[in-house]
């Protein structure tokens, strides 16, 4: 699909695309959304202002397209040439007429169900890249696939990871010149992170940069990272970290700087989390929890800034990166901005990599601030949890996660979705590394929620999701609003003085950008966690977003949402839109507590085993948010044999539920059933005391 682009690289003004006769709407000029963040600067700002704060109340649904999976939907659509390209759960891709919603083609890479177990945070994808007539898909199983943009037929496929290791890919690839660049995920499972560049024409690997050193006794990798790992990183690691993989996966932020011809990658957490186990409690462990600048042509190292030295809390620096020019102390300065998990908002000089400023954007108790001279956090020693457990915020969930934030270059305000969430950290004295499954070296007992519903409610009452408007120059909050759901969607800012965001409760909202006043909302019938986009075709502005609750928090949150969930879908809105969503039909399965009795020993054993093996998919405390099956309602719960066939023997492996025979004995599988049986009985007792609710 050949296109002619006129780029404005400063201030975040969107790419203007005029497309030729191969497009779906060839006779109409457009303002597209051709790359992941709207432009290479990834500001997620639209200059279109047909929809504005004065008329947004007239916004209506233009069209919707339903996908074929009800798992988490995190993708940012790409719109170019009148076509929307969007990836969905299980790495499927749809090409859709961006005006009418008519499906043009779809592609299914046929991910094996068992790969779903390797994905710590749901079978999600955050989008595709489109360039040179091709759509580039980074599939969950590690393949990078080039599709013909007109037909959806594969042009080439490259396996970017070792299939024998539990790598996955959930992030969106980026195209830089003649290269497509992608990282991977899987740190907790025992892998070593890296980012790789491939030829967009052939799929040939052009360079690779590893983010942590390998076994020092092994030969060099022959990668672009060899020299800097030997010079700067190796001495910051201790022990046998390489036996654990080391972590440092680049699972989201990959941003190209066209003004400086640099590539920035955000590096993830260590494997396992606990620094005391991973590196004997010694060393900064470069390049974990760092932003690293590379030469996009060769992959060579240019500079780095480490946000959380000796990372020990799952404090990734993989969160979205925004490039901008800010007026600082009377002069323009090229900076990058990031609000990573650790709770501090960073402004970094992208020429030198030096820290400009940092201030906490959520409540923080693990550090009192950032030393602007050294760039290091001023840590609370108790946060290291060496001697006793520590109740910490933000936590592994982060003050902000992957959900996109937006920047308005006119007002120089950032809009970001935040979490307030407390987590107990403590050493696990019984830790044993288990390749292929979750490894944190954090006490599982501390992660188990109380059985008593009232006690659980009180313990989580302070948890909150917010939308925050942040001034990165003054490093202070301008305004913020609280949501009634903890996990909420990414953000879009527009020249119409609007901020768009979806919520976990299923509303798509438009707020006035200068004060956060709610001006419009739409009930999407399902939680929204993805980031919206805007585009214009034939003089009509559209705002689009993908709906579908899930993701790492969505499958593990432990907050029951007893509603029937439709499949994921993409929704497009315009002024005076009149389309309607189909009626949601269905219900929730009844609780299914077994009649047999279990011993306290079984239940207590099962409680710990469930936390170690099951909660990340089926919810903390066996309460599901409805993305994956609620085991308290499983038809197999009442049958010892059926339960064992699924949990231990893998009878449902094709649907993503592998067998746990590598890690669990038959007795342990039965102990887990006993714990879930208790949770089902407690839930049934609570339900019996409440008035009957009618299904909406």
Strands (E), 67-217: 78-80, 83-88, 92-97, 103-107, 129-131, 134-138, 143-148, 154-159, 174-176, 179-182, 194-199, 205-210
Closest by CA position to 673, among listed 588, 610, 589: 610
Among 314, 308, 361, residue whose Cα is nearest residue 337: 361
Provide the 8-state DSSP code for 388: S
188 — phi, psi (to 5°)?
A: -65, -20
Q: Give the count of alpha carbons within 13 A of 601, CB side only.
A: 1
User: What is the DSSP code string of 205-254?
Assistant: EEEEEESS---TTSPP--STTHHHIIIIIGGG--TTGGGG-EE----S-E
Q: Does 314 qualify as catalytic in the annotation? A: yes
CA atoms of 470 and 475, how far apart (whole Å): 7
Contact 107, 152 (CB under 8 A): yes
The single residue listed with the structure tokens 């820290």 is 355
Cβ contact 126:147 at 8 Å: no
Task: Name the maximum alpha-carbon separation found in the chain.
Answer: 74
Check: CB of residue 249 under 8 Å from CB of residue 235.
no
In whole angstroms, give the CA distance from residue 243 to residue 439.
12
DSSP, collapsed to helix, strand or coil, labels residue 121 as coil
Q: At what angle do helices 600-613 and 666-688 cross, to 10 degrees?
A: 100
β partners of residue 582: none
Alpha helices for 229-334 (secondary structure H): 275-278
Rounded Cα distance between 142 and 111, Å, is 10
Structure token digits, residue 524: 């999407």
Asked if 521 and 507 count as a contact pair (C-beta separation under 8 A), the reply is yes
Active-site residue, selected from the candidate residues 40, 118, 122, 314: 314
DSSP state at residue 167 = -
Task: Phi first, then psi: give them for residue 82, nearest 5 degrees.
Answer: 75, 5
Q: Which residue has the tokens 């920035």?
A: 264
What tokens appear for 207 in the block?
């360079």
Separation CA 159–CA 109 (nearest Å): 13
Residue for token digits 């809390």?
313
List, in sequence order, every residue forming a beta bridge with 333; answer none if it has no partner. 326
Distance, CA of 356 to CA of 400 (rounded, Å): 20
Tokens of 12: 């975040």
The residues that are catalytic are 314
């Amino acid at each position: 699909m050949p296109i002619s682009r006129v780029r404005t690289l400063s201030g975040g003004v969107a790419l203007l695309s005029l497309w030729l006769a191969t497009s779906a709407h060839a006779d109409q000029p457009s303002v597209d959304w051709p790359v992941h963040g709207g432009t290479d600067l990834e500001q997620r700002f639209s200059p279109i202002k047909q929809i504005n704060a004065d008329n947004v109340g007239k916004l209506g649904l233009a069209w919707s397209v339903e996908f074929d999976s009800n798992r988490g939907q995190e993708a940012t659509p790409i719109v170019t040439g009148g076509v929307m390209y969007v990836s969905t759960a299980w790495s499927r891709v749809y090409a859709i007429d961006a005006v009418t919603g008519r499906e043009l083609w779809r592609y299914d890479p046929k991910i094996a169900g068992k790969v779903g177990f390797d994905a710590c945070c749901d079978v999600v994808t955050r989008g595709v890249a489109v360039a040179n007539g091709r759509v580039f898909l980074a599939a969950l199983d590690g393949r990078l696939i080039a599709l013909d943009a007109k037909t959806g037929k594969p042009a080439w496929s490259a396996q970017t990871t070792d299939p024998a290791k539990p790598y996955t890919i959930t992030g969106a690839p980026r195209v830089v010149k003649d290269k497509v660049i992608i990282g991977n995920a899987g740190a907790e499972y025992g892998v070593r992170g890296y980012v790789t560049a491939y030829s967009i024409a052939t799929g040939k690997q052009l360079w690779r940069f590893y983010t942590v050193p390998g076994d020092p006794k092994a030969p060099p990798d022959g990668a672009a990272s060899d020299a800097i790992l030997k010079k700067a990183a190796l001495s910051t690691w201790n022990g046998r970290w390489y036996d654990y993989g080391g972590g440092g996966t680049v699972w989201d932020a990959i941003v190209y700087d066209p003004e400086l011809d640099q590539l920035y990658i955000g590096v993830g957490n260590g494997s396992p989390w606990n620094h005391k186990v991973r590196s004997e409690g010694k060393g900064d462990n470069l390049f974990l929890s760092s932003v690293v600048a590379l030469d996009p042509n060769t992959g060579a190292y240019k500079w780095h800034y480490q946000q959380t030295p000796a990372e020990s809390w799952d404090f990734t620096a993989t969160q979205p990166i925004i490039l901008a020019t800010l007026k600082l102390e009377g002069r323009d300065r090229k900076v990058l901005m990031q609000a990573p998990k650790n709770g501090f908002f960073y402004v970094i000089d992208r020429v030198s990599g030096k820290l400009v400023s940092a201030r906490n954007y959520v409540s923080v108790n693990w550090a009192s601030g950032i030393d602007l001279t050294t760039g290091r956090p001023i840590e609370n020693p108790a946060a290291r949890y060496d001697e006793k457990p520590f109740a910490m915020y933000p936590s592994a969930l982060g003050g902000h996660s992957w959900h996109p934030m937006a920047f308005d270059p006119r007002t120089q305000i950032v809009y970001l979705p935040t979490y307030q969430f407390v987590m107990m950290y403590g050493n696990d004295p019984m830790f044993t590394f288990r390749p292929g499954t979750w490894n944190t070296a954090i006490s599982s007992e501390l992660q188990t929620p109380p059985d008593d519903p009232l006690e659980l409610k009180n313990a989580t009452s302070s948890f909150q999701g917010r939308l925050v408007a942040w001034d990165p120059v003054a490093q202070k909050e301008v305004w913020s609003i609280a949501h009634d759901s903890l996990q909420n969607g990414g953000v879009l800012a527009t020249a119409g003085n609007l901020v768009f965001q979806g919520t976990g409760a299923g509303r798509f909202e438009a707020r006035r950008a200068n004060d956060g006043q709610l001006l419009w909302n739409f009930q999407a019938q399902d939680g929204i966690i993805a980031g919206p986009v805007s585009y214009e075709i034939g003089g009509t502005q559209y705002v689009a977003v993908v709906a579908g609750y899930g993701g790492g928090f969505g499958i593990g949150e432990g907050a029951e949402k007893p509603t029937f969930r439709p499949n994921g879908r993409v929704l497009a809105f315009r002024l005076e839109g009149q389309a309607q969503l189909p009626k949601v039909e269905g219900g929730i399965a009844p609780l299914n507590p077994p009649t047999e009795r279990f011993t306290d020993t079984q239940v207590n054993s099962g409680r710990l085993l469930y936390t170690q093996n099951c909660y990340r998919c089926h919810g903390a405390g066996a309460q599901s948010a409805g993305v994956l099956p609620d085991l308290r309602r499983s038809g197999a719960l009442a049958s010892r044999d059926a339960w064992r066939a699924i949990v231990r023997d893998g009878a449902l492996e094709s649907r993503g539920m592998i067998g746990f025979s590598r890690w669990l004995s038959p007795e342990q599988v039965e102990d887990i059933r006993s714990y879930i049986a208790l949770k089902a009985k407690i839930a049934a007792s609570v339900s019996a005391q409440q008035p009957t609710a009618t299904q909406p």
